[in-house]
Amino acid sequence: MKGLARICFALLVLFQYTQCLPRVDPLVDTKVGLIRGLRADDGNYSKFLGIPYALVNPDNPFGESTPQPKFEETFEAYDDSAVCPQWYWWTEEIGGNPDCLQLSVYVPDTANSNNRLPVMVWIYGGAFERGEFSQKLYKPTYLIKHDVIIVAINYRVGPYGFMCLDTPEVPGNQGLKDQYLAMQWVKDNIEAFGGDADQITLFGLSAGGHSIDLHLLSQKPVIYDKVIMQSGSSLAATVLYEPDKLAHIKLAQHLGFETKDTNEAISFLAKSDSNLVIAAFMELGIVFKPCVENSFDGVEPFLNSSWVHAGTPKVRNMPVLTGYNEHELAAPHFNKDEEYYKNLNIISNYLKRIFNFDEEELQEMSDSVAHFYFGDEAISSDVKMALINLDSDFTYIHPIQRSIQKYIEAKARNVYYYVFTYLGGRNALLDNGGGGDDSSYVCCAGHADELPYLFNMINKPPPTAHDEVVIERMTTMWTNFAKYGDPTPQTSDLLPVKWEPLTKESFTYMDIGAELSLGSRPAHDRMAYWDLFYRLKGDKNKV
């Protein structure tokens, strides 16, 4: 008994000793130096947070960034709180700092030099005006468990990312160039984390998806091998704006500095509090979007010609996964009073922004669109679902289908098309305060509603039992695509339906709802209308 007691005592001391040992955090040796991360406390992975990948010039934070130099000491990657200047949609406050070009790397324990894992690089949305990826909003735990490395990047938005002045100092598309520098960082350094630099999938929602399509159209070399665009297309109506070449002058004047000199205005704005610059841009209603750049000596353009009618040769032999949510723009129109509908002039406002129509033709085309969607009825709450369809079709769905035609013509390896229709407890638009296990209160699968089924979003309710199934299906298909270029390489109880790629003849898509099912040509009648519209009037597109 004494021997057994001694053994028990020794084990107890050893247990207490190991409990007191400091946690050993991961350390990786990259091309830019040593980086120390953190062991996750909610899964079998490590996280390297807020790694700087590029520098913004403080004298011109509206210009191009430059790659981050090598770290002189070990970089402690513990903090992902950096946010680029913007209006925070979740708090309705303004914040951020132009010195924000950081990325975070999430690495499963299974990744090592003998087992290099595929990499998925997330590009956030936010209309090119806002967005971030931090643990206070999103966690990639649903995706990580499928043995992929997740990289999330910050990039500049609004005036800091998309001011386009046709000058060498502010040529335009700075935010897209930020994204590319982040991709290059991943390509150069991800093997140190156990990643496969030859298996990099870009994926993004909305402006993130638009960005990925623009990367396929850009002057930059391809350093990724697969793309996932969620509600994303370079042809989306939210992308097609003519840049305001006097934006800097207007912002400076709004902040009390009168000048017509570009250098003076940029110098003033560079020294101004970024919160004031963002507030001024919002108050003035200036739109900052991707643009066609002029050519300058010593400045490499991202986009130097209109992409609207351009082909996408880069996508040749590349797997593509793309799609949309069934009622993309439900949120702006659903819970509104009659006064809202009475004063809505959505059709003519959209058409005259995108097309060069004279007044007579604008009226004729507006009447045509109204008749197709509403018949002889005026816009009111009685036709709000038709209004949601109109806005969704014009802004997102038909542009995505036009982009798909480009991918087919460019001979993409396979194009996998989806429509997200699931109504669950984590969807955004809940009517009458419903939700929970009873999804009958959910209005629609609206814009970004697929996001909480890919990421653990902390501002969403805990998933219901059926939500858990959808989460597992979505994350399995997305990571399968990153691994194999095929979201359903084999069927299973979880994925009982083989997702067939579309062709020009079949236009097959996966309906991701309460169950999975294959269909053909979603919203066919509405898409046929817009096909005809663009066939007749597409040459009058402004951009």
Residue-wise pLDDT for 338-364, tens only, equals: 999 988 999 999 999 999 999 999 999
Q: How far is residue 255's CA from residue 107's CA, in Å, rounded to a whole number?
A: 44
Would you call 71 helix, strand, or coil by DSSP?
coil
Would you say residue 457 has pLDDT above 90?
Answer: no
Q: Residue 171 — φ and ψ, nearest 5°?
A: -75, -25
Please give the CATH topology (third level) of the domain spanning 1-310: Rossmann fold (3.40.50)
Residue 246 has pLDDT above 80, yes or no: yes
pLDDT score for 1: 44
What is d(CA 543, CA 541) in angstroms, rounded to the nearest whole number? 6
pLDDT number for residue 429 = 72
Going 109 to 185 to 68 to 293, the CA torsion angle's sign is negative
Mean pLDDT, to the nearest integer, of 400-428?
A: 95
Lowest pLDDT segment from 94-108, 275-289, 485-499, 529-543: 529-543
* Residue 389 or residue 461, greater confidence: 389
Element (H, E) at 361: helix 359-374
Region 232-246 average pLDDT = 94
Read out DSSP for 473-527? HHHHHHHHHHHHS-S-SS--SSS-S--PPP-TTT-EEEEESSSEEEEESTTHHHH
The mean per-residue pLDDT over the stretch 235-258 comes to: 95
Are the C-beta atoms of 168 and 158 separated by less than 8 Å? Answer: no
The residue ranges of DSSP E strands in 140-194, in sequence order, are: 149-153
Contact 226, 201 (CB under 8 A): yes
Query: How far is it, in rounded angstroms, from Cα 139 to Cα 49?
Result: 12
- Percent of the chain whose pLDDT exceeds 70: 93
152-161, 303-312, 489-498: segment of lowest average pLDDT: 303-312
Residues 444-460 have a mean pLDDT of 92
- Band the pLDDT of 460: cuts 50, 70, 90: confident
CA distance 271 to 11: 63
Evaluate if residue 23 carries a pLDDT over 60: no
The angle, 0 to 180 degrees and rounded to 10, between the axes of the packed helices 346-354 and 359-374 is 130
Ordered DSSP codes for 372-441? HHHTTPPSSGGGHHHHHHHHHIIIIIHHHHHHHHHHHHTT-S-EEEEEE----TT-S-BGGG-BTTBGGG
Chain centroid to CA 148:
18
Q: E strand or H helix at 48, and its extent?
A: strand 45-52
**Domain residue ranges of the chain, discontinuous segments joined by +:** 1-310, 324-543
Q: Which residues have CB under 8 Å from 17's CB, separation 6+? A: none
**Res. 436 pLDDT band, cuts 50 70 90:** very low
- Distance, in Å, from the CA atom of 260 to the CA atom of 104, rounded to the nearest integer, reads 40
Q: In terms of Cα–Cα distance, which of 295, 298, 297 is closest to 172?
A: 295
Is-contact 471 140, C-beta < 8 A? no
Q: pLDDT at residue 16 above 50?
A: no
The SS3 call for residue 72 is coil
Q: State the average pLDDT for the chain.
A: 91
The mean per-residue pLDDT over the stretch 37-51 comes to: 95
- What is the residue type of 301? P
Residue 17 pLDDT > 90, yes or no?
A: no
What average pLDDT does this structure show over 55-60? Answer: 96
Q: What is the pLDDT of residue 439?
A: 43
CA distance 229 to 232: 5
Residue 20: φ, ψ to 5°: -90, -10
- pLDDT tens-digit readout, 181-197: 999 999 999 999 999 99
What percent of the chain is modeled with pLDDT above 90? 83
Between CA 45 and CA 235 the distance in angstroms is 38
> Which stretch of DSSP H or E encloses residue 38?
strand 38-39
Nearest of 389, 390, 419 to residue 404 by alpha carbon: 419
Burial label for 149, CB within 10 Å (0-12, 13-18, 19+), is buried
What would the two tokens of residue 285 be? Answer: 């209603």
Answer yes or no: is pLDDT of 370 > 50: yes
Same fold, 1-310 and 324-543: yes
Which residues carry out catalysis? 206
Compute, in degrees rounded to 10, the torsion defined by CA atoms 524, 527, 533, 537.
Answer: -140
Provide the 8-state DSSP code for 228. Answer: E
User: Residue 442 pLDDT more than 80?
Assistant: no
Q: What is the pLDDT of residue 12?
A: 44
What contacts 288, CB < 8 A, 6 or more positions away? 128, 129, 157, 158, 159, 161, 162, 163, 164, 243, 247, 281
The CATH code for residues 324-543 is 3.40.50.1820
> Rounded CA gap, 379 and 370, in Å?
9
Question: Which pLDDT score, from 0 to 100, does residue 24 have?
Answer: 55
486 pLDDT above the threshold of 80:
yes
With 0-12 / 13-18 / 19 or more C-beta atoms within 10 angstroms meaning exposed / middle / buried, residue 111 is buried
The residue ranking higher by pLDDT, 19 or 446, is 446
